[in-house]
A = this chain, B = another copy of it.
Amino acid sequence: MKSSATAQEVARLAQVSQSAVSRTFTPGASVSEDTRNRVLAAAKTLGYRPNALARSLITRRSRIIALVMSYLQNQFYPLVIEKLSQSLQKQGYHVLMFISDLEETDGVLAEILQYQVDGIVMASAMLSPDLARQCAESGVPVVLFNRVPDISAFARHSTSSVTSDNHRGGRMVAELLLARGHRRIAFLAGLEKSSTNLERERGFNEVLEAAGVAVFRRAVGHYSFELAKEATRELFAGPDLPDAVFVANDHMAIAAMDVLRQELGLRVPEDVSVVGFDDVPQASWGAYRLTTVVQSVEDMVEATVELLHEQMREGTHPRNVVIPCRVVERDSVRAAG
């Protein structure tokens, strides 16, 4: 395995000092046109590429961002990987993936820190609040993606976050369902302690309450496809059925629609209206045409990158950015009248 040439070897061939070759590859460093060309020529014939690891050791910037996720079943997250990775690549950063279950979360942080990452984005509702704090304590910029710092004052003041306006989104869903005349409205929850679920449900409940309508029934799907199916069966057991369900995310909403139609023989939206959250690509597929709340991955990623940069500069305070969201109506909610 021929390892790549070193700056030393390039210097020798180009008849300049090693410093000169380093400068040639450092944007903004001062090298004469002549030296630069000699170096470039030599580099080319030797196939030279600066060793990013050695560079990082001395500059103290690895240009690596850790991305921590716990499950990719929900298509929302692959989209995040794609957009975030592309956006970061354009700026010379790269994404190091960490897949973490709830259990092995502590070890993950240790690994991340060993790589001297320049930042961490935690993009999963399923991560322990503890890990978030640990990261922040390490002094590495952290931005929580699609989740909010836990209630401890410490986390709030040391960690940035970007979420969409889950509370507002929950409200909009309740308003829509009420406007369409629904009164027996069920809620299918995700992970109960996740901030996404908490906020969506809070907004949803507020509006229902204000209208004097109680949540008709409630079950928990933990953001899992299979458990959401179970939860749907619960919701639609008994003689008196809901006439609408708000499901805490699209991934579960699709599971719910499958059960409703295939198992229970109910029609959507004629018998039941269904609303999701996220607007994953599958929500617009012909078989589902799910009415949902759109979270803009693009906007969220953009905010994340900006927050990362902010925190890499000294003396900036963490911020919690909230991205507006909106309802996209398709065919899973019955029409007015």
**Chain A interface (Cβ within 8 Å of chain B)?**
1-4, 49-54, 56-57, 60, 62, 64, 67, 71-73, 75, 77-79, 81-82, 85-86, 89, 94-99, 110-111, 113-116, 138-140, 225, 254, 257-259, 261-262, 281-282, 285-288, 314
A53 pairs with B56, CB closer than 8 A: yes
Interface hub of A82, A110, A281 (most chain B Cβ within 10 A): A82
B73 pairs with A281, CB closer than 8 A: yes
Contacts of A113 in B (CB 8 A): 4, 49
> Which residue of B is nearest A4, CB measured?
B113
A57 pairs with B60, CB closer than 8 A: no
Contacts of A67 in B (CB 8 A): 97
Contacts of A98 in B (CB 8 A): 85, 89, 94
**Cross-chain contact of A99 among B57, B86, B225 (Cβ < 8 A):** B86
A79 pairs with B72, CB closer than 8 A: yes
A49 pairs with B110, CB closer than 8 A: yes
Contacts of A285 in B (CB 8 A): 254, 258, 287
> Which residue of B is nearest A90, CB measured?
B104
**Cross-chain contact of A257 among B57, B282, B287 (Cβ < 8 A):** B287
B314 pairs with A286, CB closer than 8 A: no
Copies of this protein in the assembly total 2
B49 pairs with A53, CB closer than 8 A: no
A138 pairs with B259, CB closer than 8 A: no
A3 vs chain B, min Cβ distance (A): 7
B110 pairs with A81, CB closer than 8 A: no
B97 pairs with A81, CB closer than 8 A: yes
> Which residue of B is nearest A83, CB measured?
B99
B282 pairs with A261, CB closer than 8 A: no
Contacts of A57 in B (CB 8 A): 51, 53-54, 57
In the complex, besides A81-B97, A257-B287, A261-B287, 11 extra interface pairs with C-beta distance below 8 angstroms are A1-B314, A4-B113, A49-B110, A54-B57, A72-B78, A75-B78, A81-B99, A82-B99, A89-B98, A94-B96, A259-B286
A96 pairs with B99, CB closer than 8 A: no
Contacts of A254 in B (CB 8 A): 285
Distance, CA A140 to CA B49, complexed state (A): 14
Given known A52-B115, A286-B259, contact A72–B64 (CB-CB < 8 A) = no
A114 pairs with B52, CB closer than 8 A: yes
